[in-house]
Structure 1
Amino acid sequence: MKIKFLFLLSLLYLFPSYATSRQPQDIRQEKQMMFGDTSRTGVPFSKDPHVVYFGERYLMYYSIPPMKGVENSGWNIGIAESEDLITWGKIGEIVPDPQAEYERNGLCAPGALVRDGMVHLFYQTYGNGRDDAICHAFSEDGIHFERNATNPIFKAEGDWNCGRAIDAEVYEFNNQYYLYFATRDPDFRIQMLGVAVASKETSFDRDDWIQPVDAPILFPELAWEGECIEGASITIQNDRMYMFYAGAYNNWPQQVGVAVSDDGLVWKRLFDEPFLPNGKPGEWNESESGHPHIFTDFDGRTYLFFQGNNNKGKSWYISNKEVFWKEGLPSF
């Protein structure tokens, strides 16, 4: 026993960073994230996660439901922070700006990016049907946001859709920004994905965006996708774009698929079956594993955040799983 103890001490002396450098990785592998915001309804209810690393901590933006007992409170956005991607604490909310008529009914489904020392947030209006659109705000601290004066910055165009635009994901690739959004067909039945682009120098204003493809870039075709594809989220691996997306409407069950693209416009599915399926009977995500966000950390590791529940949407938790890459294919 004494020999073993001295051996361990020698390891710490020779490699003093061994114990600390391993700790974050061990925490992420051994503990499961289970985050549920109870502040609005008294039960865990958090959806549509999106994570950035900013201000030496992780920030997660997510949708929260109307405040119980408060008339016309609407869907809003919660903000939580973490040091390890596992344990999260709520630090703020983003509620409608009283001067912004376009978001008076609510706002949700956030997407974010960090550029030039600021967090840029893209979110949708809620409760306006075909008129729901994408808005933009920016922040120096990641908590208090100023609205873009040209909001809403994007609404879908073309005869193939109903005009609605939700679930924004903005990502830089090939010296321009791609805005992926979900919309519906003119009959407001089938949910699908479209794309707009802006220059690398964009201020994300309304006039900066154009739709390079007059058609959906991804449309539900597989049986498990039902009548819906939404919630696109992007990572870059080996100079290719990988999109993690939600297939089927909430609790059908919604599950997660993956597609790949070399130009951001033409997409091909990697798998015919869900990459992340809903849970088995009795598991916490039995009703769905949905609305993914693939987060790329500063060390290159990737984590798939997603929402789930086992009671057909009476509550919602957010969790994550690390994604590994080999020969262009993701796995858990």
Structure 2
Amino acid sequence: MNIDKFKTPYKYPSFLLEASGEKGDFSRFGIDIPFVFFHKKQFFMLCTGFNGIGYQSAFAVSDDLLHWKYRNLLLPPDQEKRWDSQNTGCACLLKEYNDLQHLPVLKKFQNKYWMVYESYPENGYEAGAAQIGLAWCEDDNLLEWHRLGEPILSWKDGDEWERGGLYNTCLIFYNDKFYLFYNAKDQNEVWKEQIGVVVSEDMFHWKRICDGPLLTVSENGFDSRFVSNPYLVKTDNKWVMFYFGFDNLHAQEGIAWGKDLLHWIKSEKPILTCGCKGEIDEIHEHKPCVICYNGRLYHFYCGVRKARQGEKNSIYGEVRGICVASSEPFEE
């Protein structure tokens, strides 16, 4: 397949949203995992922040896809001793359209909106083996969300390649079935990360249908250690999966394609690469969300750069935020 039409070589020069550095803020040390959709005449972005202890997600809104303001926080830490009481990182929502040429809007199922999230069992940055949960909302303003009582997918039921935890999902409804694509790591330290899939007819009971990961790492490739964060669309009667690869130095965006949801061919080279020294994505650019609006592609991702002296919003010597690249130049 010719992947040139999916390339977005023009990068917006500044973060759309970035770590705040403010004590007590949900995004003090990072903002991550963009998921963009259109709702009630506005663009929404689902994103996840890290405050130094745990994760919480939020909606941001925009009129032009470039200037964003936070709107409301989601799924706050629970005082009860639930499986997900420590933190919640919301990754995606159920969409109405899979076609890249349609703006993504939300789909209702059982008269509710649905959001997939992961929760880590310990305080800290990706601390412990995460499990995947489901939350629902009947409010068209997307303000009041409710969690199911138990995880819908756990590493405890998986194979060896999943034993380090599951997270960062993409939920697809196609041919009367739900498909949930997810990241899995094989252990908690120096792990390998790959993409799996489960299928459901009711969104509550899920079945693994593949022997092993669906998308695997490539020896000596840009994705030699991680192949992660699937984001799927359909175009020209083919499925396209954006993801990121990591080779122990940099994370960069990749692309795969297939005629169905279970058989994929990966491009050997990344479709979007890290920036030059000093740019906002000089270390990593990863975790894709790609939409088409007014005939141009917008490729949202998390960019990571080196911290500068005195910055309060850095962690582990890095600053991370939400970025965007496009198929056409941005106006100055």
Displacement after TM superposition at 1:170 (Å): 0.4
Displacement after TM superposition at 1:100 (Å): 5.8
Give the residue type in structure 1 aligned to 2:38: Y
Between 1:184-193 and 1:276-285, the stretch displaced more is 184-193
Identify the match of residue 76 of structure 1 among 56, 61, 73. Answer: 56
Displacement after TM superposition at 1:108 (Å): 1.3
Residue 165 (structure 2) aligns with:
164
Q: In structure 2, how many angstroms separate the alpha carbons of the residues matched to 1:287 and 1:51? A: 23
What does residue range 134-213 of structure 1 map to in structure 2 within 5 Å? 134-139=132-137, 140=139, 141-149=141-149, 151-156=150-155, 157-162=158-163, 164-185=165-186, 189-199=191-201, 202=202, 204-205=203-204, 208-213=205-210
Residue 321 (structure 1) aligns with:
325
1:48 counterpart = 2:38: no
SS at match of 2:222: helix
Displacement after TM superposition at 1:321 (Å): 2.3
Displacement after TM superposition at 1:191 (Å): 0.6
Residue 21 (structure 1) aligns with:
none
Identify the match of residue 92 of structure 1 among 72, 95, 103. Answer: 72
What value does the CA root-mean-square deviation take over the aligned residues?
A: 2.8
Displacement after TM superposition at 1:171 (Å): 1.3
State the Cα deviation string for residues 165-212 of structure 1 (Å, max 9, x = none): 11111012233221001112368621111000112xx2x22xx21111
State the Cα deviation string for residues 209-241 of structure 1 (Å, max 9, x = none): 111112111111052113111111111112321
Structure 1 or 2: larger helix share? 1
Residue 119 (structure 1) aligns with:
113
Q: In structure 2, how many angstroms separate the alpha carbons of the residues matched to 1:135 and 1:215? A: 21
What does residue range 1-332 of structure 1 map to in structure 2 within 5 Å? 34-38=16-20, 40=25, 45-66=30-51, 73-94=53-74, 95-99=76-80, 101-113=82-94, 114-116=106-108, 118-128=112-122, 131-139=129-137, 140=139, 141-149=141-149, 151-156=150-155, 157-162=158-163, 164-185=165-186, 189-199=191-201, 202=202, 204-205=203-204, 208-221=205-218, 222-248=220-246, 252-269=249-266, 271-296=267-292, 302-311=297-306, 314-323=318-327
Displacement after TM superposition at 1:50 (Å): 0.9
Q: In structure 1, how many angstroms separate the alpha carbons of the residues matched to 2:144 and 2:36? A: 16
The answer to whether the 8 Å contact 1:54/1:142 transfers is no
CA pair 175-278 structure 1, distance change in 2 beyond 3 A? same
The answer to whether the 8 Å contact 1:48/1:63 transfers is yes
Give the residue type in structure 2 aligned to 1:322: S
Aligned residues: 283
SS at match of 2:18: coil
Displacement after TM superposition at 1:106 (Å): 1.3
The answer to whether the 8 Å contact 1:177/1:198 transfers is yes
Q: Percent identity?
A: 20
Displacement after TM superposition at 1:86 (Å): 0.9
SS at match of 1:53: strand
Structure 1: tracts of 5 or more residues without a match: 1-27, 68-72, 325-332
Displacement after TM superposition at 1:294 (Å): 2.0
Structure 2: tracts of 5 or more residues without a match: 1-9, 95-105, 308-314
CA pair 263-321 structure 1, distance change in 2 beyond 3 A? same
